[in-house]
Amino acid sequence: MTTASNHLRVTVVQLAAGQDLESNLTRLKHVLSGIGATDIIALPEVFAIRGSDQDYRANAQALNGPLVTLLAATARRHNAWVLAGSLIEASDGKCYNTSLLLNRGGDTVAAYRKMHLFEAELDSGRTIRERDIYEAGNTPVMADLEGWRCGLTICYDLRFPELFRHYSAQGAHLFFVPSNFTQHTGKDHWEVLLRARAIENQCFVVAPNQCGINPHSRVESYGNSMVVGPWGEILARLEEGEQAATVTIDLHDIHRTRRRIPALEHRKI
């Protein structure tokens, strides 16, 4: 593991992806054109396509496909790491909801397949069930980002604190939570859960979310992408619309928080 830089410039990107891949990527490029210097660009879950199960299957790609090639070029152009919040991975006839972390040179250094697949009944009575399209992953994935220890998660994983505690026990400094969190659940649970995962593990949380309405399902996403500090403080928050925000996070904030309340040292289980 390399020695960590004390400061990391994090750009969290909020998108309203629809069913047209090329249109989504064009709008993403427009949002990124105004971000300035950064160390990592964090994109939301299903950042390149959001629609029906048929749309997802039709746009599924191998991890050496054209979408990853485009992400690699984006990393090199901005001289920044890229968290591809998730794309639809095609592998051995199956689809996975997979998050990738690419370094500044465009190399993929980590790939995480979403372990917990979302299922919920909406107010309309309609049920969302990701297992109808995706296979579940079965392996937590940590990555070293220039000395920052990062735990990879996707959206619904946020409700499973044992995954975050696993990463914490492995020395995590930062959790990535790229999401397509719905308005239905987000208004009650999104901020509470993000801040809880940060507070109980004394880590940073980087959580880019989708916004707007899925043009197929008409399900609205909550937006409110956030970066949360280890004390639970909200360092950046995007409310509505496609946009990006950059915030500098400081490794010393983790050390200060853990000195103030050494809860991680007091664990019994």
Specify the fold of 7-264.
Answer: Nitrilase/N-carbamoyl-D-aminoacid amidohydrolase (3.60.110)
Question: Quick check: is 155 catalytic?
Answer: yes
The least confident of 6-20, 70-84, 117-131, 253-267 is 117-131
Cα separations (Å) of 90 from 46, 51, 62, 94, 267? Answer: 14, 17, 5, 6, 40
Q: Which of 129, 127, 137 is closest to 157 using CA atoms?
A: 137
* pLDDT tens profile 184-201: 899 999 999 999 999 999
**Tell me: the pLDDT tens digits for 205-229?**
999 999 999 999 999 999 999 999 9
Residue 2 has pLDDT above 70, yes or no: no
pLDDT over 70 (residue 3) = no
Please confirm, yes or no, whether 45 is among the known catalytic residues: yes
Annotated active-site residue in 89, 114, 135, 203: 114
221 neighbors 209 (Cβ within 8 angstroms): yes
How would residue 1 be classed by pLDDT, with cut points 50, 70 and 90?
Answer: very low
Per-residue pLDDT at 185: 92
- CA dist list (Å): 46 to 97, 190, 247, 251: 8, 18, 23, 29
Mean pLDDT across the chain: 96
Catalytic residue among 130, 150, 155, 203: 155
Domain limits of the chain?
A: 7-264
Above pLDDT 90, what percent of the chain? 93
Say whether 114 is catalytic: yes
Tell me whether strands 148-152 and 174-176 are parallel, antiparallel or unpaired: parallel
Each residue's pLDDT tens digit, 24-68: 999 999 999 999 999 999 999 999 999 999 999 999 999 999 999
* Phi-psi region at 213: left, alpha or beta (left = phi > 0; alpha = psi -120 to 50): beta
Q: Which of 127, 130, 48, 126 is nearest to 88 (CA)?
A: 48
pLDDT number for residue 172: 98
Across the chain, which distance is largest between two alpha carbons, in Å?
51
**Segment 83-139, tens digit of pLDDT:** 999 999 999 999 999 999 999 999 999 999 999 999 988 766 678 899 999 999 999
Q: Which of 45, 89, 135, 242 is catalytic?
A: 45
Query: In sequence order, what DSSP letters do the residues of the chain get, joined into one string?
Result: -PPPPSEEEEEEEEB---S-HHHHHHHHHHHHTT--S-SEEE--TT-S--S-HHHHHHT-B-TTSHHHHHHHHHHHHHTSEEEEEEEEEEETTEEEEEEEEE-TTS-EEEEEE-SS--EEE-TTS-EEEGGGT-BPP---EEEEETTEEEEE--GGGGG-HHHHHHHHHTT-SEEE--B--BHHHHHHHHHHHHHHHHHHHT-EEEE-BBEEE-TTT-PEEE---EEE-TTS-EEEE--SSSEEEEEEEEHHHHHHHHHHS-GGGG---
The pTM is what?
0.96
